[in-house]
Structure formats: C-alpha cells, structure tokens
Amino acid sequence: MTKQPPSLEKTDLISLHASTCLTMTEFINGCHCPKLAHFIVHQLRRLLAHPELERAHEYRHMYQQLLEHWQKITAYLLEQQRQRHQTSH
C-alpha cells in the first residue's frame, strides 16, 4: 500500500497552521505589537474558513477558542495604544 501525498488543500492548511503558530511564537517572545496580534486574528479566521476544517470539528473548536483569545488580546493592545496616544497629547 503506497501512501498518498497530501492534497493541495491539506498542504495549504498545514502551511497556514505552521505560519500561524510561528507568528504566535514571535508575539509571545516579545513582539507585543497590535498589528501582529491583528495578523494572528486574520490567520485564525483563514484557518476557520479553510475547507479542510469542515470535517474536523475538534480542530474548528480549538481554532475558534484561539480566535476569541487573540481577539481579546488585540482589543486590549489597541486600547493601550489609544490610551498612550491620548496621554501624550
């Protein structure tokens, strides 16, 4: 029995997952930038919209939880940025 190579959609999903994890690691390692957090939210939305996840409910649930978490982080960072901007003027 020969192993089939992953489909193009599966390969795209794997790549998207890996780049999202890498970006999260970059954020956690000190780059607490609202733009980076927003990009993570964007990546997680792309993951949730990926056709391969239609059949993987456990992964959809995990990505949904991550999305909610990163949306909160993004909102918090944007609020901090807004407050800093207001106090500097």
Q: What is the pLDDT of residue 39?
A: 96
Q: Residue 50 is part of which domain span?
A: 30-88
Burial class (CB in 10 A: 0-12, 13-18, 19+), 13: buried
Q: What is the residue whose two structure tokens read 């949306």?
A: 71
Handedness of CA 29, 34, 37, 39 (dihedral sign): negative
**Is 74 a domain residue?**
yes
Give the number of domains in the chain: 1
Q: What is the pLDDT of residues 30-87, one digit of tens each?
A: 988 899 999 999 999 999 999 888 888 888 999 999 999 999 999 999 999 888 888 8
**Is 67 a domain residue?**
yes
pTM of the model: 0.84
**Is 73 a domain residue?**
yes
